[in-house]
Chain A
Amino acid sequence: MKESKDLYESQKLAIGYWIVAICLFGAQLVFGLIISYQYIQPEFLHKFLNFSICRLLHINSMILWLLFGFIGGIYWFLPLETEREVVGIFLGKIAFIVLTAAVSIVVLVFLLVQIGKGEMLTLWLVTEGREYIEAPRWADIGIVAVFSIIFFNVFASIWKAKKLKGILWVLIVDLLAIIGFYIAGMFFSPNISVDQFWWWWVVHLWVEATWEVLVGVLVGWVLMAVLGTSRKIVEGWLYLEVFLIFGTGILGLGHHYFWIGAPEYWLGIGGFFSALEPLPLVAMIVHAVYDAGVHRLKTINKPAFFWIVAQAFGNFIGAGVWGFMHTLPQINLYSHGTQLTAAHGHLAFFGAYVNTNLALIYTALQRIRLHEGSILDGTLWKWVFIGLNLAMLGITAPLTVAGFTQTFVERAVGGSTWQAYIDAQSHPWFKESMIWRMGFGIMFFVCYVLLVADLLTIGKTKATHQQ
């Protein structure tokens, strides 16, 4: 067994980030189960923990744990890339503690205070009431401050090591863009069209542009670590991916500007560029399959390898296929804001970002628990892998059916009124879908528990293959 003292300080910090991430993942799922049960039994926790509160906790803890996981990935690989300890690691550790404390306070306020009076003070202290970025303003400023410290860690380390090129160069620019776009979501406007215009800058330009590039970097590192892919190959593909992701995703932003009051040219621009957004995702599949083939599926880390392949396909299917399904304006006019959107949201976030994080953590576990060159493998991770993927398909398939019901009954036929909404929600296709979703949600949660068990034990048991 390798002693943990062989790790860089930065890598120990990464483990801290991943522990918090996995805990928040659990919280996300608990709140997801509550809100999916409220679809079936609306009186459940009514008045105490309304749907709105549990839902905002569900999606905010998701964003946070994915970010924690990515930051962990950066701290894990950075010293390996720069071949030195991270500069300002002490500051980095303080940032981690501050960030975790701030997240805990925000969660407590969401749970206990929930809402406030209709004044600016509420937006500063309790909630901003904007989906995904409900966190109050003080926390926003804190998050930007902490991210700036992390950025400093990354930049200073790369600078000192004189390695500002290739993959690291992409990472630096992308981190700056991630911080910059977050700031676009920090303003109040009484004009809801202006509000939504900037809100989508954060949401879309994060998940469909900057986060995609970030996972491009992280996946590249994982491929090099578990398959031994050459740096030149990874760099070439990464540049191609950046070209395609930013080339289509930046103006693809327009697919959210169809109906918020923005001018008509967005129908064409948004429809055209977002329809091309699956291109980089195809490139990513080709990349992963090509690398796996070149190395004849020989890997030192079975779970990480499987999650990275699942990531390539999940990203393409969840974001590419399910996204394309409703991205043209003539379809989106009727599917906008239905469960089809939720189906796509689940499949895309899971496929692209959950999978990346799991691959990162397994990659690290190999290094933490095994000797150089031993193969990380076991039995439990296989069940977890199959279970989580099946459960996610089981969640999104009924949501897709429910979404079609709404598109048809509520929007196309019913004209989207209050009564049309009720009619669609009371339709048997919709109601049955909610039950199926709940069932697979429970399965997902069980697999999550097994995942935690596997993360705690894999590599420690006899089932591990040693060379």
Chain B
Amino acid sequence: MKFGWLEITLFSIVLVVVISAIFVRGKNWLEPGFWGVFAIVSSLVMFSILWLLTFDTLKKISFGSARVPSPTVINHKIGFEYDPDKKRYMPTIGEEELFFGKKWSEQEATQLLTKGKLVIQSRNCMDCHTLLGNGAYFAPDLTKSWLDPKWQTMIQPMIGVATKEETMAKWLQNPEYYGTWQRRMPNLKLTEEEAKAVVGYLKFMSAIDTNGFPDHFGKSPAIF
């Protein structure tokens, strides 16, 4: 879309006012019909603009777009850094790294993420956690969980495996056993395959450009 938000906003308002004004000529503003015209016109105009924006947005958030990466992003190092031009934090996609000891082809990675998403829905993760900030508030936000320092500072030493992804997969299969505070995540009976898929999903999600949310994730000097 070549227009900015202000153009779109002003355009839609002007359109509603002008079209309505044409149709209400001669009508008394105290008659219900006068406002009926405004009701119909504003509904149609706003809904049409929503559809146009929907097409544009869906294009810009498809897998492999600038904002939502391709599933093969799990083969790369991911970070979250302050962007001085945009004046906000942005995900960074760095050099290649192995994920669960291998490089995933496009097809394999897509299958893994599809599985991961199905596991997330089938276990009702979003009824305790938030993902992209949406869901329930009983447990931490998982948008950038892949980048959470706690995996390496607290969980990995507890479990004693070599990589972060293995740490996460093991923990997810037995979260009650490796408790972190008084609220314990229940055991949701994830198989090893399912746990790997979820970790893949979390890694992918951390690479989505969320316009800077959550601000300075993992960079607070006050809290590790």
Contact among A247, A260, A263, A413 for B132, CB-based, below 8 A: A260
Interface string of B101-124 (1 = CB under 8 A from A): 000000000100111111111111
- Are A420 and B223 CB-contacts (below 8 A) given A243-B39, A251-B50, A267-B211? yes
Contact among A191, A412, A416 for B141, CB-based, below 8 A: A416
B162 within 8 A of A: no
Report the interface size class on chain B.
Answer: 35 or more
- Are A417 and B124 CB-contacts (below 8 A) given A118-B194, A251-B49? no
A117 to B67, CA, bound (A): 30
A388 to B115, CA, bound (A): 45
Contact among A189, A232, A262 for B60, CB-based, below 8 A: A262
- Please provide the chain A residues from 315 to 345 with a CB less than 8 Å away from any CB of chain B in the complex: 333-334, 336-339, 341-342
Residues of B within 8 A of A118 (CB): 115-116, 118-123, 194, 197
Task: Tell whether, in the assembled complex, residue A337 and residue B135 are in contact, meaning their CB atoms are under 8 Å apart.
Answer: yes
Task: Tell whether, in the assembled complex, residue B136 and residue A55 are in contact, meaning their CB atoms are under 8 Å apart.
Answer: yes
Query: Which of A64-72, A126-134, A295-303 makes up part of the contact surface?
Result: A126-134
Expressed in whole angstroms, the minimum distance between the Cβ of A322 and any Cβ of chain B is 16
A239 to B41, CA, bound (A): 11
Contact among A247, A411, A422 for B181, CB-based, below 8 A: A422
Task: Tell whether, in the assembled complex, residue B184 and residue A46 are in contact, meaning their CB atoms are under 8 Å apart.
Answer: yes
Task: Tell whether, in the assembled complex, residue A191 and residue B63 are in contact, meaning their CB atoms are under 8 Å apart.
Answer: yes
- Are A337 and B130 CB-contacts (below 8 A) given A190-B110, A413-B220? yes
Residues of B within 8 A of A273 (CB): 9
Contact among B39, B133, B136, B183 for A52, CB-based, below 8 A: B136
Expressed in whole angstroms, the minimum distance between the Cβ of B23 and any Cβ of chain A is 13
Residues of B within 8 A of A120 (CB): 118
Task: Tell whether, in the assembled complex, residue B136 and residue A51 are in contact, meaning their CB atoms are under 8 Å apart.
Answer: yes
B16 within 8 A of A: yes
Contact among A55, A269, A414, A421 for B127, CB-based, below 8 A: A55
A121 to B27, CA, bound (A): 57
Report the interface size class on chain A.
Answer: 35 or more
A262 to B68, CA, bound (A): 9
B163 within 8 A of A: no
A229 within 8 A of B: no
B205 within 8 A of A: yes
Task: Tell whether, in the assembled complex, residue B35 and residue A240 are in contact, meaning their CB atoms are under 8 Å apart.
Answer: yes
Contact among B36, B128, B133, B136 for A336, CB-based, below 8 A: B133
Task: Tell whether, in the assembled complex, residue A268 and residue B5 are in contact, meaning their CB atoms are under 8 Å apart.
Answer: yes
A423 to B181, CA, bound (A): 11
Closest to B63 in A: A191
Residues of B within 8 A of A258 (CB): 211, 213
Residues of A within 8 A of B113 (CB): 190
Expressed in whole angstroms, the minimum distance between the Cβ of A164 and any Cβ of chain B is 14
B149 within 8 A of A: yes
Task: Tell whether, in the assembled complex, residue A262 and residue B61 are in contact, meaning their CB atoms are under 8 Å apart.
Answer: yes
Residues of B within 8 A of A56 (CB): 124, 127
Task: Tell whether, in the assembled complex, residue B5 and residue A272 are in contact, meaning their CB atoms are under 8 Å apart.
Answer: yes
Residues of B within 8 A of A55 (CB): 127-128, 136, 138
Task: Tell whether, in the assembled complex, residue A193 and residue B150 are in contact, meaning their CB atoms are under 8 Å apart.
Answer: no
Closest to B121 in A: A129
Task: Tell whether, in the assembled complex, residue A417 and residue B140 are in contact, meaning their CB atoms are under 8 Å apart.
Answer: yes
A253 within 8 A of B: yes
Task: Tell whether, in the assembled complex, residue B42 and residue A247 are in contact, meaning their CB atoms are under 8 Å apart.
Answer: yes
- Are A192 and B132 CB-contacts (below 8 A) given A130-B121, A261-B209? yes
Residues of A within 8 A of B (CB): 35, 38-39, 42-43, 46-47, 50-53, 55-56, 114-120, 122-123, 126-131, 134, 166, 170, 188-197, 199, 232, 235-236, 238-240, 242-243, 246-247, 250-251, 253, 256-269, 272-273, 333-334, 336-339, 341-342, 406, 411-423, 425-426
Residues of B within 8 A of A (CB): 1, 3-6, 8-9, 12, 16, 30-33, 35-36, 38-39, 42-43, 46-47, 49-50, 53-54, 56-58, 60-63, 67-68, 110, 113-128, 130-141, 143-145, 148-150, 180-184, 186-189, 194, 197, 201, 205, 208-220, 222-224
Of all A-B residue pairs in the complex, the 4 with the closest CB atoms, nearest first, are: A268-B5, A129-B121, A118-B119, A416-B214
14 further A-B contacts with Cβ under 8 Å, apart from A259-B133, A262-B61, are: A56-B124, A115-B122, A115-B123, A115-B189, A123-B118, A129-B124, A194-B62, A197-B58, A263-B61, A266-B57, A339-B137, A416-B141, A419-B224, A426-B181
